[in-house]
Every structure is written in C-alpha cells, then in structure tokens.
Amino acid sequence: MYHTKNAVGYMNIKMNLTSSDNLKQKPADILKTPFGTVFSDHMFSMEYLGGQWKGASIHPYRDLSLNPAALCLHYGQGIFEGMKAYHRGGRTLLFRPERNFIRLNESATRMVMPEIDTDFALSALKKLLKVESDWVPDVHGSSLYIRPTMIGTEARLGVKPSDEYLFYIILSPVGPYFREGFSPVKIFLSTEHVRAVKGGVGAAKTMGNYAAGLLAGVKAADVGHSQVLWMDALEHKYLEEVGTMNIFVKFDDELATPPLSGSILSGITRDSVLTLTKDMGFNVVERKISIDEVIEGIASGKVTEMFGCGTAAIIAPVGSLWFKNKSYTISDGNTGELTQHLFDELTGIQSGEREDPYGWVVEVD
C-alpha cells in the first residue's frame, strides 16, 4: 500500500458558515434549471498531508487554490462519486450512500490514492446536508445532486502518485438529467472509439474516462443522438455501457445486462435494478450481449425494451439505436412497460414516496 490505509477515523468538523444575509438565491424553477449548474452555499473539505486526513471543515462554497503543477492537473489522479438527496414530507433521504463511499475507496485504490473512512464521510455528508437542508428541493422530479471528489494536489511534474490530496463534497439542486425529462433517448453506437479496456481504469469513477468519451459524444450529437453506446475494446462486439449509465436489454421474457468484467462501472442503480427485477420474478441475467444479437432482436421483435440506468438519470429508456449509418427503433420509440415500472419504483423508493423493503433509504436526521 502506497498510502496509509484509512488514515483517519473520526475527527471534529470545523464549522465556518456564511452569514444569513450572504446566502445565494435559489433557482426559481428547479425543473427548468440545466443539470449541475447551480451550487449550494457550503461545501465540505479535508486534506491529506503527511499520510493523514486533516482539516475537516464545512465552509462557504469557494474556488480552489491549486499549484499549477498539482499532479491531478497533469496526470489525472482524480476520482468522484455521484449521489442524490431527496426532501419529502419534511425528511431528507439518501439512497444507499454507504455504497458510494465504498466505491470511492475502490476507485482510490485503483488510482493509488488514499482511502477515506466511509463512516466518517457519511457523517460529514449528513452534517453538510443539515446545514444545506433548504437546498434540497421538494418538488416531484427534483433532488439535490451530491458530488464527492478527490484530487491529487502535490506540486510536482514527475509522474508519480501524489503525496497530498484534497477531498471535498459539493451540492447541486437538480431537476431531470435530460432536457427532455423522462422520455426515450436516441443512442449512437460508436464503432470508432472505445471507453475502456480490461486492465485499464474503466471500473473506476475517474476523470480521464469521461474525457476519453467526449469525442464519440460529439460525433453522436452530429447525427442527432444524445448518448454513446460503448462496445468492448477488444472485439468491438459486446455491449458495455451507455454514456455514463449501465445498460439493460429485454429480450422477450429475459432481462439481460453485461457482466462486471473490469471495464464497466459497477453501478448502484444497476445493482438495485437487478434486485428489483429478481424480486419481481423476472428472468434477469448478467451475460455478454453482442450487438448482432441486439440488432437481430430488434428486427425480429425479440428486443422489446432497452434502458440505461445511473444515479443522474435513474432510468433512461432507449428509443432508438444508430448503428453503421442506420437507425433502429426500439419499443416503437416509446417507453416500455418494464422500463416505466422500474423508473416509478426506483424514484418512488428514493424519494420516500413508496415503501422501501430493502432498507436502501437512509434518513438524514
């Protein structure tokens, strides 16, 4: 281990709050605010110096001060998480938040960054959410998006793991992820670019993966498509992910999703969909899905639904697929029955509007 494992347990969180007359204006209509463009008044941060996390504090949202030689800016040692808080009926709810901090540590290990104490991180997040409770919107379809981030900050131009890090959590009130809201998206199959390869960093939520995907996204947009469907990097044959979401395909009575092969992100929404559909008695399998099987299945009517899933969009129905200069329509371009059911069920559980038999929801009290 390069860094001290779990270098700190609990520490005091210093509170430095903005005076009430300096608070920001909240967006007038959260459902019309573009995703991730507004930030709350405060943030949490702590630093890793000399092999220890220290200086935990909740303070006004502010610009970072970084040395231009900070290692994250050159060699990409940066990881993050994405989660949401809901405010309904006077309660603030999180969805399986411990999973996000465990995954942050898995990303940290892959990128040779220090781990955080997951219990401490969750208590820091709850404390921040209590300070910012007015920022958790309560309208149906809205939530507070949470972005925990860790970056290597040591000033050094030699390629090596940073000895210094900054961990912070920022908050952004959001409406639906797609401008269209919950309606079918058009996806573009990239035959030219790949997202990640086994042995690489595709299973980590690390910055470079998203930079690597931008060019294919621009090409998709050129033909009017909003998301990229990624194929495996070796054979360009098997489905991996769609944009920043995991993918599911329904073939008649079977619901299938690609296995976690090392190049795919292990989505918490993916895991929740697997649990929900298994409990519904669905024949749900993690297996390789070839693009030929999907195209043939669309032609024969065997592919009845397809959707992406992830924290930001939750469930995104796929209405059409662009492959080798041809567009294939799925579910007549509509939202399938199972897709709609899963969206309603998941958003219902997350927002506390439906029963949560799994104990997934954690209240901020």
Ligand X SMILES: *Cc1c(COP(=O)(O)O)cnc(C)c1O
Q: Does 149 bind ligand X (CB under 6 A)?
A: no
Q: Please state, as a whole number, how many other Cβ atoms lie within 10 Å of the Cβ of residue 94.
A: 23
Residue 140 φ/ψ, nearest 5 degrees: -55, 130
Task: Return the number of the residue (109 or 334) whose C-beta is nearest ligand X.
Answer: 109
Confirm or reject binding of residue 245 to ligand X (CB under 6 A): yes
Q: Cα(286)–Cα(130) distance, rounded to whole angstroms?
A: 39
Work out whether 320 is an interface residue with ligand X (CB under 6 A). Answer: no
Decide if residue 350 touches ligand X (CB under 6 A). Answer: no
Among 55, 60, 82, 352, binds ligand X (CB under 6 A): 82
Select from 3, 126, 205, 225 the one that contacts ligand X (CB under 6 A).
Answer: 205
143 near ligand X (CB under 6 A): no
Q: Is 81 helix (H, G, I), strand (E, B) or coil?
A: coil
Sequence-distant (6+) residues with CB within 8 A of 274 are 257, 284, 286
Q: Is residue 304 a contact residue for ligand X (CB under 6 A)?
A: no
Report if residue 232 touches ligand X, rule: CB under 6 A: no
Question: Which among 40-48, 138-146, 260-268, 350-358 is the span making contact with ligand X, rule CB under 6 A?
Answer: 260-268
- The residues that bridge with 60 in the sheet, in sequence order, are 42
User: In degrees, to the nearest 5, what angle opens at C-alpha 314 toward C-alphas 213 and 218?
Assistant: 25
305 DSSP β-pair partners: 250
310 is a site residue for ligand X (CB under 6 A)? yes
Burial class (CB in 10 A: 0-12, 13-18, 19+), 336: buried
**Interaction of residue 265 with ligand X, rule CB under 6 A:** yes
Nearer Cβ to ligand X (58/97): 97
Q: How far is the CB of 164 from ligand X (least distance, A)?
A: 25
Question: Which residues sit at the interface with ligand X, rule CB under 6 A?
Answer: 82, 205, 241, 244-246, 265, 267-270, 310-311
